[in-house]
């Protein structure tokens, strides 16, 4: 139904604001996504927010009006509030004028259809929410099926990761699992596991990649553990012409993903 | 000389901490870089800090000892302090154990030797310091000569941009200028200007790129202004197989830069 919040002391403000902490997200099973662009991606992917907060006193975009109608029809709440309160909810100085509260979701390896896509991204101990969100965004762009998170990765449902994903949090499958679970699952079906690594001389353009291709990227500071590299079908590296020896983790994943896509779209 | 700071109330703490603000950086002509890895990159590129802050009570790495010796020999200060004060200086919860204060530098178009590299990156109205730093890091990796910042870009000397650059702030030339200055300079010599855009059907792998190649990326939200696109020699786009229509700006630049490098390393 339609509601209105005018004061910072409203208990719902505190509750929604608390969703910026992982602990509260897990307890409530809810997360935040901001901005009409991301909320529209969500809607097109079949996700409606339980609660939709909108800034009062302005004309709504046609897409926003449609979204509000669907939220109300599905039994959700559309809550009009002030720009200041929206800023407090999202923690941004220049908040978006619309914010959705969504149910968390997840996929298990058992229900993942590996043949539904030619490319899958796999991140190990990814620490930076911006990198994780950017990997989701690139995954969407290359037509990947999803992102498999190995070991202790940053939470994909954080405000920062959702923001960096630009909506791909809703279109990419997300699995969180341990390495041994992943490898056991991987080896019972088709799938080439390709790790980006500094411990190889194989240029990333040299191999013929195989469908479905699982592109594995390690932790930002440490890279992949040696024992994980040993289980890869291929280790490859990008040429490095400068003083440094590595790329940003999301960039490395993206450069690899486009190489694999470029090969696949030729055959 | 060697100094020691034991209290948060030391005026130098306030002064260095103020360098996290652009206004103070401009006034002092100084900026901060953290961590032995980045400070070592700086040293190898010929940059020594005016002041080097180090956490007391631990054994120094051999590279750090060498760095300290050079700073002292060059008349700089090596300042021992606590981990808490280092954290206050850098604004991080888990601060690096070493922090350098460097003189700001810049390059003008007039002194830029465009033939010194095959690839140059150009960013227009880039707003996110992480994106800007990541572009510098990728520039270093592909052997680019530097990054040309057009219009109102985020400050390359912010703590966040320097951190994301992983030291490439010291190895890449950085020019800040207006669009008309850039175009005038570009057209008096060789150089192919390639814009990444959604307003084209030219696949980014189709053209034969020419040396030196200037890769132009627009603002994160708006992309390039139409009038800027009109002055490009080429507009290209990456294939987009998903629901969304764009990549993160630093990712798009990096995927483009590797395509250009891949073409150049074959001929």
Gap between the Cα atoms of B242 and B204, Å rounded: 17
Gap between the Cα atoms of A17 and A141, Å rounded: 31
Q: Say which residues have a Cβ less than 8 Å from residue B6's Cβ, sequence separation at least 6.
A: B81, B82
Q: Does A225 touch chain B (CB under 8 A)?
A: no
Using a CB-CB cut-off of 8 Å, the residues of chain B touching A162 are none
Band the pLDDT of A96: cuts 50, 70, 90: confident
* Residues B184 and B246 reside in one and the same domain: yes
**ipTM given for this complex:** 0.94
Of B142, B144, B248, the CB nearest to A134: B248
Here the tokens at position A81 are: 């509030």
User: What CATH number does residue A84 fall under?
Assistant: 3.30.1330.30
Q: For residue B141, what pLDDT is reported?
A: 97
Average pLDDT across chain A, whole number: 94
* Residues B26 and B98 reside in one and the same domain: yes
* Residues A98 and A114 reside in one and the same domain: no
* Residues B48 and B139 reside in one and the same domain: no
Q: Say which residues have a Cβ less than 8 Å from residue A37's Cβ, sequence separation at least 6.
A: A166, A167
Using a CB-CB cut-off of 8 Å, the residues of chain A touching B131 are none
B57, pLDDT greater than 80 = no
CA dist B80 → A47, A177, B47, B76 (Å): 54, 43, 20, 13
Q: Which of B166, B149, B155 is nearest to B217 (CA)?
A: B149
Per residue in A124-167, pLDDT (tens digit) is 999 999 999 999 999 999 999 999 999 999 999 999 999 999 99
Q: Say which residues have a Cβ less than 8 Å from residue A165's Cβ, sequence separation at least 6.
A: A38, A132, A133, A134, A136, A137, A140, A156, A172
For residue A200, what are the domain limits?
Answer: 109-264
Please judge whether A140 and B166 are an interchain contact, meaning their C-beta atoms are less than 8 angstroms apart.
no
Cβ A183 vs Cβ A51: under 8 Å: no
Here the tokens at position A76 are: 């959700």
> Taking chain A, what is the end-to-end CA distance rounded to the nearest angstrom?
51
Cβ B90 vs Cβ B28: under 8 Å: no
* Residues A124 and A242 reside in one and the same domain: yes
**B127–chain A nearest CA distance, Å:** 14
Here the tokens at position A124 are: 């190990």
Cβ B229 vs Cβ B111: under 8 Å: no
Q: Which residues are paired to B123 by β-bridges? A: B149, B217
Please state, as a whole number, how many other Cβ atoms lie within 10 Å of the Cβ of residue A95: 20
Of A45, A171, A242, the CB nearest to B141: A242
**A103, A138, A172 - which closes a domain:** A103
Gap between the Cα atoms of B160 and B25, Å rounded: 14
Using a CB-CB cut-off of 8 Å, the residues of chain B touching A134 are 248, 251
* Residues A256 and A185 reside in one and the same domain: yes
Split into its structural domains, chain B has a count of: 2
B167, pLDDT greater than 90 = yes
* Residues B47 and B128 reside in one and the same domain: no
Per residue in A1-50, pLDDT (tens digit) is 999 998 889 999 999 999 999 999 999 999 999 999 999 999 999 999 99
Per residue in A171-218, pLDDT (tens digit) is 999 999 999 999 999 999 999 999 999 889 999 999 999 999 999 999
**A103, A124, A154 - which closes a domain:** A103
Q: Is A47 left (phi over 0), alpha (psi -120 to 50) or beta?
A: beta
Q: Where are the beta strands (DSSP E) in A38-154?
A: 51-55, 77-81, 98-103, 119-124, 146-150
Task: Look up the pTM and report it.
Answer: 0.95
Please judge whether B251 and A247 are an interchain contact, meaning their C-beta atoms are less than 8 angstroms apart.
no
Lowest mean pLDDT among A62-66, A224-228, B145-149: A62-66
* Residues A73 and A146 reside in one and the same domain: no
* Residues B9 and B79 reside in one and the same domain: yes
User: What CATH number does residue A224 fall under?
Assistant: 3.40.1280.10
| Pairing of the two strands B98-103 and B30-34 | antiparallel
Of B242, B258, B261, the CB nearest to A141: B242
Chain B (84-113) residues lying within 8 Å, Cβ to Cβ, of chain A:
none
Q: Which of B104, B99, B160 is nearest to B134 (CA)?
A: B160
For every residue of A101-120, DSSP letters joined together read: EEE---B-GGG--GGG-SEE
Secondary structure element (H or E) that encloses residue B192, with its range: strand B192-196
* Strands of A77-81's sheet in order across: A2-4, A77-81, A51-55, A98-103, A30-34
* Residues A232 and A131 reside in one and the same domain: yes
Is A223 buried (19+), middle (13-18) or exposed (0-12) by CB count in 10 A?
Answer: buried
* Residues B121 and B82 reside in one and the same domain: no
A31 φ/ψ angles, rounded to the nearest 5 degrees: -145, 170
Q: Does B244 touch chain A (CB under 8 A)?
A: yes
Give the best residue of A244, A246, A249, A264 to mutate against chain B (max B CB count within 10 A).
A244
A165 φ/ψ angles, rounded to the nearest 5 degrees: -75, -15
Of B144, B247, B265, the CB nearest to A239: B265
Gap between the Cα atoms of A89 and A8, Å rounded: 10
* Residues A193 and A211 reside in one and the same domain: yes
Residue B206's closest chain A neighbor by CA?
Answer: A262
Please judge whether B143 and A251 are an interchain contact, meaning their C-beta atoms are less than 8 angstroms apart.
no
**A86, A103, A120 - which closes a domain:** A103
Q: For residue B182, what pLDDT is reported?
A: 98
**Mean pLDDT, residues B42-58:** 92
Give the best residue of B42, B136, B213, B254 to mutate against chain A (max A CB count within 10 A).
B254
Q: Does A197 touch chain B (CB under 8 A)?
A: no
């Amino acid at each position: 139904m339609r509601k209105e919040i005018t004061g910072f002391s409203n208990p719902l403000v505190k509750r929604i604001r608390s969703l910026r902490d992982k602990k509260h997200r897990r307890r409530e099973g809810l997360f935040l996504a901001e901005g009409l662009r991301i909320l529209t991606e969500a809607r097109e992917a079949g996700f409606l927010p339980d609660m939709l907060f909108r800034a009062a006193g302005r004309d709504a975009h046609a897409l926003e009006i449609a979204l509000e109608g669907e939220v109300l029809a599905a039994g959700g709440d559309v809550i009009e509030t002030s720009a200041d309160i929206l800023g407090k909810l999202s923690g941004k100085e220049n908040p978006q004028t619309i914010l959705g509260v969504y149910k968390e979701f997840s996929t298990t390896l058992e229900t993942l259809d590996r043949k539904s896509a030619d490319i899958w991204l796999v991140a190990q101990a990814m620490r930076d929410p911006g990198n994780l969100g950017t990997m989701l965004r690139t995954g969407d762009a290359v037509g990947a099926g999803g992102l498999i998170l190995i070991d202790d990765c940053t939470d994909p449902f954080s405000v920062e990761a959702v923001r960096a994903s630009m909506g791909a949090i809703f279109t990419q499958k997300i699995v969180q699992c341990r390495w041994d679970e992943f490898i056991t699952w991987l080896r019972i079906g088709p799938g080439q596991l390709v790790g980006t690594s500094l411990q190889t001389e194989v240029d990333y353009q040299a191999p013929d990649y195989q469908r479905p291709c699982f592109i594995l990227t390690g932790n930002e500071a440490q890279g992949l553990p040696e024992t994980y590299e040993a289980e890869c079908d291929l280790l490859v590296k990008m040429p490095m012409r400068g003083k440094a020896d590595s790329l940003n983790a999301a960039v490395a994943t993206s450069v690899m993903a486009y190489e694999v896509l470029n090969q696949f779209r030729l055959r």
